[in-house]
Amino acid sequence: MSGSMSRTTGNLPPCPVIRTPRLTLRPHVLSDAEAITASLCDFDVARMLLRVPQPYHPGDARDWLETEANGDTAWNAAITGKGGAHIGVVSIERQQNAWHLGYWLNRQAWGRGIMSEAAWALIDAFFRERPDSTVRSGVFADNTASLKVQAKLGFTISGISDVYVPARGATVNRIETHLTRDAFTPARS
């Protein structure tokens, strides 16, 4: 599919490989299943995610990698650090006629600005492909770290909803957010 055709449909070209000063974002491979499973078995990671079951099994990771990780309506980038270790995911995917940002990091990568760097890089690439798009996202009300990441990127709050979270087995408040190209915060040097 040509670049111009992908701009007018829900499809995206393949997920690009993106390098930042500390990270490489790349398409997933089946061998990522072990690292994904290890990260998402951690309840403190899974409890902040909208669609992740708990407990999380190796088969869940393999199923996701085989069916959704590299589809043409999403960029699901593996976040890898020095040495190529899989430490998380940042994605932009088409859901309900809108583009949505989602992300997670394993616990060992928290608190170092990694997600801000990874999300900025993927959003920047996405806006080069789709400059007239709006990216939607959201965070659970008790996830202040994630809300700070989105604020750094230029997201603004657009509402609050109640959502069921499988890992928690409960309904929680979700702060809905959105980002336009004009509001996207440039990278800091």
Dump pLDDT digits (tens) for 108-167: 999 999 999 999 999 999 999 999 999 999 999 999 999 999 999 999 999 999 999 999
Taking only the tens place, the pLDDT of each residue in 80-99 is: 998 899 999 999 999 888 99
Would the pLDDT of 1 be above 80? no
Q: What is the DSSP letter of 84?
A: G
Q: What is the model's pLDDT at position 141?
A: 97
Could you write out the DSSP letters of every residue in 12-48?
-PPPPPEE-SS-EEEE--GGGHHHHHHHHTSHHHHTT
Whole-number pLDDT of residue 12: 87
What pLDDT digit, counting tens, does each position of 140-156 carry? 999 999 999 999 999 99
Render pLDDT for 11-34 as a digit per residue (tens, 0 to 9): 889 999 999 999 999 999 999 999
How far does Cα 18 stand from its chain's mean position? Answer: 14
What would the pLDDT profile of 44-91 be if each residue is shown by its tens digit?
999 999 999 999 999 999 999 998 877 788 999 999 998 899 999 999
Give the integer Cα–Cα distance in Å for 83 and 100: 29
pTM over 0.85: yes
- Alpha-helix runs per DSSP H in 43-174: 43-46, 58-67, 114-129, 144-153
In the prediction, which pLDDT does 188 show? 52
For the chain, the residue count is 189
Residue 2, pLDDT above cutoff 60: no
Task: List, in order of start, the domains of the chain with CATH numbers.
Answer: 3-180 (3.40.630.30)
Classify residue 69 by its DSSP letter: T
Pair 170, 162: CB distance under 8 Å: no
Give CA–CA dist 161/149, Å, rounded: 20
Nearest to 11 by CA among 90, 78, 88, 70: 70
